[in-house]
Amino acid sequence: MEPLSVLIPTLDEEENLPECLESCSFASEIVVVDSGSRDATRDIAERFGATVRVREFDDHASQKNWGLDRVTHRWVLVLDADERVTPELRVEIERVLSSETNPSGYWIRRRNHFLGRPIRGCGWQRDKVLRLFDRTRGRYAPRRVHEKIEITGPVGNLQHHLTHYTCRDLSTWIRKAERYALLGAEEAQAKGRRPRAGDLVLRPAMRFLKQYVLQAGFRDGAEGRILCTVSAFGVFMKYAHLRELVRNGREAT
């Protein structure tokens, strides 16, 4: 079987990290790239036998690319600390890495949980991520937010899921939405995007309707309504930040 490295970026993940590390303990190597945790994250990683590297965070793409340069093996599985490799997925990963011929990478579907509930709608039912790949054929594109890997060569699909516990509590989720909104606004400004009349009203409303109605968020009860509302709030904050960034840029000029 081809040896496997697991790469896990972290920041203050002492609650999530132990179960994540247990789920991927079958790998030949685990590398944790930490952004300066103030809790027990690094101690936990070392206790599980992981190699810990520390790097100041600038953006998700460069953090992961930096980590890819510091793992040992060609095949890499990138995990977030709130994700778990199921036993079924482990068997499937071991099977494909034992094959003599493989594509350059694999999409993995995710089963997402929000505030303790499995989410069946909100667009999350089709969620998949490209996380298992040959690192000599893939790098993350330079983006401030929602980083994506660019792979040279064909890409396959795995049949089994990652389990993803997205949200420990609502306050954490709202802070994350605000952080991603600012990063998204900065990226939009860098690309020359300018605020438009309908951004602050129409875009958030459209996001809510898309996730709650068209993507069946109503199936997920109160948690679905909360998820779709916070998502719409994130869109509102992105364009509010963009307006502020553009206005401040003009004033500075």
Q: Which residues contact 57 (CB under 8 A, 6 or more apart)?
A: 11, 35, 36, 63
Q: What are the φ and ψ backbone dihedral angles of 130, each rounded to 5 degrees? A: -90, 100
Mean pLDDT over residues 143-157, rounded?
Answer: 90
Please state, for a pLDDT cut of 90, what percent of the chain lies above it. Answer: 87
In the predicted structure, residue 162 carries a pLDDT above the cut 50: yes
Contact 148, 140 (CB under 8 A): yes
Domain 4-167, CATH: 3.90.550.10
Q: What pLDDT is attached to residue 7?
A: 98
104 CB burial (10 A radius; 0-12, 13-18, 19+): middle
In contact, 144 and 137? CB cutoff 8 Å: no
Distance separating alpha carbons of residues 235 and 233, to the nearest angstrom: 5
* Distance of alpha carbon 237 from alpha carbon 198, whole angstroms: 13
* Portion of the chain with pLDDT greater than 70, in percent: 98
Q: Which residue has the higher pLDDT, 253 or 20?
A: 20
Q: In 3-state terms, what secondary structure has residue 65?
A: helix
Q: In 3-state terms, the chain is what percent helix, strand and coil (to 5)?
A: 45, 25, 30
Distance of CA 178 to the CA centre of its chain: 15
Distance separating alpha carbons of residues 132 and 94, to the nearest angstrom: 11
Domain extents for the chain? 4-167, 170-252
Cβ atoms of 13 and 38 within 8 Å: the answer is no
Per residue in 50-106, pLDDT tens? 999 999 998 899 999 999 999 999 999 999 999 999 999 999 999 999 998 889 999
Which tokens in the block code for residue 243?
């307006």
**What does pLDDT average to over the chain?**
94
How sure is the predictor about 250, in pLDDT bands with cuts at 50, 70 and 90?
Answer: low
